[in-house]
Structure 1
């Protein structure tokens, strides 16, 4: 079954089409959720809620080629995670008048794999982790992040820089290094 045919089937509430899309994308969407919440049971629940939202609102989705479905699913999953974190009170970000830049080393990273980086990202405090995910992984700009989280752009920049600084410390502590 093609992605486009599965979407058409889902719009008709066809369970086989729904299962096809769920099976095709659930692992990737679970990883999106894990990046925002630390524990796997919460991430699994958020992923399931995201798929329920997706199937309920599928009529509004317009397929525009390869990648459009994944982008829409990711947006739904991110929104589910943000609502969860807000409800939990985990998005307490510190407002600052001036978001000073914390120097971030350039260069390339060696001796580390994606799984190790994911563990380090999940070790960040909730606010830093959320802004880091939205900016560095999901590709949102600071203005969008500020709107999504109800903070200033300066706070978004500050949270990102502080999160990056902590990640650099964690990377160095784990014996990984940068090449300039």
Structure 2
């Protein structure tokens, strides 16, 4: 039977490498998904994931068992990814976007035929600020006040960017569905 997260955390606090490896294996996939939502490329998401685990292991004393460990680790992954994104912007580097694979679903309306990869690709193609706010609000469940604090923007700007992101995403998805329908 697999060890509980609590037992793994206790063993990590005791400095046991096997527990660190087990915790990484248990949470790595989930946290990589978080990093991919905020980083402009898979390579940067992998860097963010590694930094996330370094922070987790070096800050275990800050985890006070006031909620699930997974939520605490997820918040570290979000802030680490956002910090890398901010550093990327400050250096003035172009934002690369990984391409999604097109595998349409059979049947249904043109919008129904868009695959999950199509949706992820369209989200990744949003301007970085829109993408970050959309992910933080719709996927991570942060409030606009929390998003404002994380991104260094006002609550109103967060609401505005979410609204614009939704409109742009909807327009792009309809356009992609229309193009797909025309090519069938």
**In which range does the TM-score fall when normalised by the shorter chain?**
0.7 to 0.9
Equivalent residues in 2 for 1:5-154 (5 A)?
5-63=7-65, 68-89=68-89, 110-154=112-156
Q: Which has the higher contact order (CA 8 A, sep 6+)?
A: 1
Separation of aligned partners in 1, 2:60 and 2:54 = 10
Q: Does 1:159 align with 2:177?
A: no
* Cα displacement (A) at 1:64: 5.2
With over 3 angstroms needed to count, the CA separation of the structure-2 counterparts of 1:7 and 1:30, relative to structure 1, is same
Report the TM-score when normalising by structure 2: 0.78
Greater shift after overlay, 78-87 or 112-121?
Answer: 112-121
Instruction: Give secondary structure in 2 for the equivalent of 1:41.
Output: helix
Deviations 1:57-88 (A, max 9, x none): 012213357xx121111100111011111112
Q: CA-atom RMSD, angstroms?
A: 2.0
Report the TM-score when normalising by structure 1: 0.80
* Cα displacement (A) at 1:117: 2.2
- Asked if the contact 1:29/1:47 (under 8 Å) is kept, the reply is yes
* Cα displacement (A) at 1:32: 0.5
- Asked if the contact 1:50/1:76 (under 8 Å) is kept, the reply is yes
* Cα displacement (A) at 1:112: 4.1
Gaps of 5+ in 2: 93-110, 179-184
With over 3 angstroms needed to count, the CA separation of the structure-2 counterparts of 1:150 and 1:64, relative to structure 1, is closer
* Cα displacement (A) at 1:150: 1.6
Gaps of 5+ in 1: 93-108
Deviations 1:119-149 (A, max 9, x none): 2211111100011111111111111111222
* Cα displacement (A) at 1:161: 0.8
- Asked if the contact 2:130/2:162 (under 8 Å) is kept, the reply is yes
